[in-house]
Amino acid sequence: MRKPLIVGNWKMNGSRESVRALLLAITANEDVGCDRIVCPPFVFMDMAAGLVQQSVVELSAQNLESNKAGAFTGEISAAMLADVGCSHTLIGHSERRELFGETDEIVAAKCMAALDGGLVPILCVGETLTEREAGETESVVLRQVNEVIKIVGIEGFSRSIVAYEPVWAIGTGKSATAEEAEAVHMLIRKRLAEESERVGEKIRILYGGSVKPENAKALFAMEDIDGALVGGASLDADSFLAICEAAAR
């Protein structure tokens, strides 16, 4: 049985005051029946680590650099993230792919760097609206997954999480229907199971794309949806905890 997981991606939002208030509210409610991870901006990570230290809430970075160290101004390595208390990192979020030009190859290299650095990568995959309307959802998602398989191997996925996030649903208020999301989750799980039935059964696959308390229950009722990667709703403690409660099925 895969335990549900809710990940809150705070993106480029927050202040010391708001981060403190949000984490105190989230960590005050321990018994929600699912695993919880939050992704603060880098500058608040050390403070966040102190606030979650005595709780079950874990920390994830929003991104990392694939190189271990060196002349990479402005970048953060896996070792640095682990040193300040991170256990996970997002990899290949659609905003990184679209706005910052991260290719499938770059994403795969970052997954490898995360694993080598002792972090759990949360690999984000998904199609744009143009690709969906052209009937390319399956080919795009499989291309993204296959590139990572090529670099980290199927055993790398045994220490990873996947998040399916249709790009057209992120921050738009639109969400894939539960059935649409389930179809892609099944596709990903089937592809990984072709390499290893054990990994295909064990891996947690999250849905991301305008997840809210109102649509969470229907999404989590699907067999292959193991939780959510939550954006805007994760900035409000009540909304985030309501999604967590919906996941505790």
Which positions are annotated as active-site residues? 93, 165
In eight-state DSSP terms, residue 125 is: E
State which H helix or E strand residue 97 sits in.
helix 94-100
Distances (CA, A) of 182 to 46, 64, 197, 211, 237: 36, 29, 19, 14, 27
Asked if residues 9 and 39 have their Cβ atoms less than 8 Å apart, the reply is yes
Q: Which of these, 195, 109, 123, lies nearest to 159 by C-alpha position?
A: 123
Structure tokens at 212: 């809210």
The letter for the amino acid at 143 is R
Structure tokens at 219: 């999404």
Distances (CA, A) of 18 to 3, 24, 30, 227, 237: 29, 10, 20, 25, 11
Q: Residues 152-191, buried b or exposed e (16+ Cβ, 10 A)?
A: bebebbeebbbbbbbbbbbeeeebbebebbbbbbebbbeb
Asked if residues 239 and 5 have their Cβ atoms less than 8 Å apart, the reply is no
Q: Distance between CA atoms of 17 and 6, rounded to whole angstroms?
A: 23
